[in-house]
Amino acid sequence: MTQQMPIKAQGEPTKELQQKAAVDRFNATLHQMQNEIARALPKHMTGDRFVRIVLTEVRKNPTLALCDPLTMFGSLLTAAALGLEPGLNGECWLVPRKNHGTLEAQLQVGYRGVVKLFWQNPAATYLDTGYVCERDEFRFAKGLNPILEHTPAEGDRGKVVRYYAVAGLNTGARVFDVFTPAQIKTLRGGKVGSNGDIPDPEHWMERKTALLQVLKLMPKSTQLAAVPAADGRAHTISDAQQILGGVDTSTGEVLDAGWHQDGPVES
């Protein structure tokens, strides 16, 4: 008996046609929201450029156009509020992911995005991260006389045994912390390495996690408090508005009314 192949109903759109229609709808809606996006961006960025970058990302990954529009535009506005350009130089990415059966656009902040936001603060003077392998020379101590010394080995350095991050301000303050791979894995919710198939031999995602932890120890005006809340999740437009309320759109600096550069002030 010959098995018959299922026949697509006449007029039923193919996946490619569905994606094209979704991209066209997204394109139209994005241009309608261009003024709102421009208002969210820091003053040194333009809405035209941001829209072009987003359209390029959607053309490269049409599945983004099929995501829940509330999460897609919420994540876009969140990226705009932080002054990060999706897909460009690894500042952030829009990632389509299923959540309880709904395809959402999640915002993933990259290492370079965190670094960019840190250096936008006028008090920032020093930033470094690294990974330590078992054949490296490494010494650290905390307390009243902190020490952090790292000399990478030449050739085969062995497996990674530590991650660290250091940040400094123009007040002379420097803060660092050191983490084991197990600690970083826990902080990342069990994730190891980069998301997807992108190779990450320099362990940038783990170093980003270490850096975010160190920035929590800095004065709140340089804490990048919005990034941990924004990273790795889908957003609504109200999420973006909350973040925008805590960001100086002229500089991209995260604001906190309870801290001045000279120290905490009484509320």
In tens, the pLDDT along 170-198 reads 988 899 999 999 999 999 988 887 665 56
Could you tell me which residues come within 8 angstroms of residue 122 by beta carbon, excluding any fewer than 6 positions away? 170, 251, 253
Whether 211 and 231 share a structural domain: no
Whether 86 and 170 share a structural domain: no
Whether 106 and 194 share a structural domain: no
Is pLDDT at 143 greater than 90 in this prediction?
A: yes
Listed range (22-26, 41-45, 254-258) with the worst mean pLDDT: 254-258
Whether 64 and 129 share a structural domain: no
* Per-chain mean pLDDT for the chain: 83
**6 lies in some domain:** no
Whether 129 and 211 share a structural domain: yes
pLDDT for 45-75, tens place per residue? 999 999 999 999 999 999 999 999 999 999 9
In this structure, the chain runs to a length of: 267
Domain count for the chain, please give it: 2
Nearest to 91 by CA among 188, 199, 230: 230
**1 lies in some domain:** no
Identify the residue with better confidence: 57 or 261.
Answer: 57
Q: What is the mean pLDDT of residues 38-43?
A: 89
**44 lies in some domain:** yes
Whether 33 and 160 share a structural domain: no
Whether 93 and 178 share a structural domain: no
Whether 132 and 164 share a structural domain: yes
pLDDT, residue 257, reads 34
pLDDT, residue 120, reads 83
Q: What is the mean pLDDT of residues 224-250?
A: 68
**9 lies in some domain:** no
Range of the domain at 74: 15-112+227-260
Q: Residue holding tokens 């050191």?
A: 178
pLDDT, residue 187, reads 93
Query: Cα 196 from chain centroid?
Result: 15
- Angstrom CA distances, 30 to 51, 52, 239, 264, stand at 7, 10, 18, 41
Distance in angstroms (rounded) separating the CA atoms of residues 47 and 77 = 11
Whether 89 and 144 share a structural domain: no
Helix 15-32 / helix 47-60 crossing angle, nearest 10 deg: 170
pLDDT, residue 230, reads 77
**266 lies in some domain:** no
- pTM for the full model? 0.77
Whether 248 and 213 share a structural domain: no
